[in-house]
Structure 1
Amino acid sequence: MADASGPGPSPTPGDDGHPAAGLTDAQKSLRAQMLATEHWSLLASRSTTQSEVLTRIAIFLTLVSAGLVTLGVLGNATQFRGWFGVAALGVLLLLVLLGLITQQRTTNASLDDLMYVVAMNRLRGAYLDLDPGLAPYLISSADDDQAGSERTYYAFGARRGQILASSAMIISVVEGAVVGLFAGGVVLAVGGAIWLAITVGAAACVGSIVASMFIGYRGYRNLFELHEPLRTTRRG
């Protein structure tokens, strides 16, 4: 005979259909401890990811600032002639590559953060299975579907400009500006007119920003297409 205090097999729903209806108090307590441990692990992982990506963003912005200052110093030293064009393109190319790496890490971190939110929503659903009376005290969602994640992110409603003010958007704009400068510099280096360089640079800047937004949105959609939620948000 199995020990009643152990976790035991997964219970079958009781007459009321509740998943935890067949659990003893000891089993519920043990499950609550295990769920809380997993919850704290997800919180720590989320905090570490956010801290790391913010550090990466700060490094990139510092390098962009240093690169532009370097170009200014080189310009004064060479009177913007001779080897200045080659040096400028080299510095800008380096910043473009570093920006792409930082941008990719920021996108991955955003998707990781979404995964942590979905996972913690699922744990809240497990808490409610153990004690449905907790529902009125939870601001974040206990549903691990797309609507549930949006409720957790925007507990008091989505705010205008929230996406535009995000870290991913800041990196996209800065990277777009660097890409535009590099593209315009290439046009000038091959003998193109100023107006053509400005046009190509502006188009490259806008294209870079739009492409980064599309890639981020596609990753967001793919995540929920692959995810199978345990609890779905009730409509109406």
Structure 2
Amino acid sequence: MSAGTDPVTQATDPETVGAARPSPTTSSALPVFLSTEHWSLLGTRSMTWSEVMNRITIHLTVVSALLVVLVLTVQKTGFGTPFRVMAIGFAGVALVMGTLTAIRVNMASQEDACLVAAMNRLRHAYVDLAPEIEPYLTVSTHDDDQGVVMTYAVGQGRSVPLHVMGSTSFFLMTVNAIVAGTLGALVASAVDASTAVVGVVGVLAGVVYVAGELSVGRRVFKGKPLHPRFPTPD
């Protein structure tokens, strides 16, 4: 380091971070620092998904309760105006709750991808410190998108579309799209539309909701704040 250079500036300069090497004094403590960070990230992942699963459980429980109330109502009053009004109101409530839950799930999925990338980065540091451990690692040591997907798939190859379709976000989007389609059909039925029109409106409402969810999810993941430092080799 040249005279007059601020050590803090040098440590945070992207051009010098990769070239920096720890002193002998800190080298022995590096495994402790890295493992502490690794467990901290793992704990954050666990808490995030615990919260998300609780919210999804609450949402599905409320939707189930609303369906039970509708069943009891139709047994009492039939499929008349009171039932239709209640069904439209309940479907609207379920859709709002589902959308809010989906927003949180999308945010959690983005956070989780960043946490996985961060842990991949730490594994890269482990391999730098002890190259002989690399054959024993199952998941990726690269912090780019390909490395993240490899870690999610536990070392196996998996396409991104397949991973998305099997995700919690996609499941919740499907549930919400069904609710949106039902709401659209109920509204069309309330204005005495024909059966064909009711069906078309219901399908269109579901498709529009799916398109909106996919668009929002794509924008969320395009804004990932973590930039790869150790990309997967070509």
Structure number with the higher helix fraction is 2
**TM-score bucket (shorter structure):** 0.7 to 0.9
| Structure 2 gaps, min length 5 | 1-9, 12-17
Q: Which residue of 1 aligns with 2:113?
A: 114
Distance 1:126-1:112 versus aligned 2 partners, 3 A rule: same
Q: Percent identity?
A: 35
Do residues 125 (structure 1) and 124 (structure 2) align? yes
- TM-score, normalised with respect to structure 1: 0.83
* Map 1:30-179 → 2, pairs under 5 A: 30-154=29-153, 155-158=155-158, 161-179=162-180
| Cα distance in 1 for residues equivalent to 2:20 and 2:133 | 15
Give the secondary structure class of the aligned counterpart of 1:163. helix
| Cα distance in 1 for residues equivalent to 2:166 and 2:226 | 27
**Could you tell me whether the CA contact under 8 Å between 1:18 and 1:129 is conserved in 2?**
no
**Could you tell me whether the CA contact under 8 Å between 1:141 and 1:149 is conserved in 2?**
yes
Deviation at 1:194, TM superposition (A): 2.1
| Cα distance in 1 for residues equivalent to 2:206 and 2:81 | 27
Paired letter, 1:192: A
Paired letter, 1:204: A
| Cα distance in 2 for residues equivalent to 1:215 and 1:109 | 14
**Could you tell me whether the CA contact under 8 Å between 2:114 and 2:226 is conserved in 1?**
no
Q: Which residue of 2 aligns with 1:228?
A: 227
Q: Which residue of 1 aligns with 2:198?
A: 197
| Cα distance in 2 for residues equivalent to 1:79 and 1:156 | 53
Deviation at 1:189, TM superposition (A): 1.6
Could you list the structure 1 runs, at least 4 aligned residues long, displaced by more than 6 angstroms after superposition.
none
Deviation at 1:162, TM superposition (A): 4.3
Give the secondary structure class of the aligned counterpart of 1:83. helix
**Could you tell me whether the CA contact under 8 Å between 1:19 and 1:129 is conserved in 2?**
no
Do residues 183 (structure 1) and 192 (structure 2) align? no
| Cα distance in 2 for residues equivalent to 1:167 and 1:149 | 17
- TM-score, normalised with respect to structure 2: 0.84
Deviation at 1:18, TM superposition (A): 8.0
| Cα distance in 2 for residues equivalent to 1:139 and 1:29 | 25
Deviation at 1:40, TM superposition (A): 0.2
| Structure 1 gaps, min length 5 | 1-8, 11-16
| Cα distance in 2 for residues equivalent to 1:125 and 1:140 | 11
| Cα distance in 1 for residues equivalent to 2:150 and 2:162 | 17
* Map 1:20-31 → 2, pairs under 5 A: 20=21, 23-24=23-24, 26-31=25-30
Deviation at 1:209, TM superposition (A): 2.1
Paired letter, 1:95: A
Q: Indicate the larger mover: 213-222 or 47-56.
A: 213-222
Paired letter, 1:140: V
Q: Indicate the larger mover: 124-133 or 159-168.
A: 159-168
Q: Indicate the larger mover: 190-199 or 160-169.
A: 160-169
Alignment length, in residue pairs?
217
Q: Which residue of 2 aligns with 1:4?
A: none
**Could you tell me whether the CA contact under 8 Å between 1:71 and 1:88 is conserved in 2?**
yes
**Could you tell me whether the CA contact under 8 Å between 1:107 and 1:216 is conserved in 2?**
yes
Give the secondary structure class of the aligned counterpart of 2:164. coil
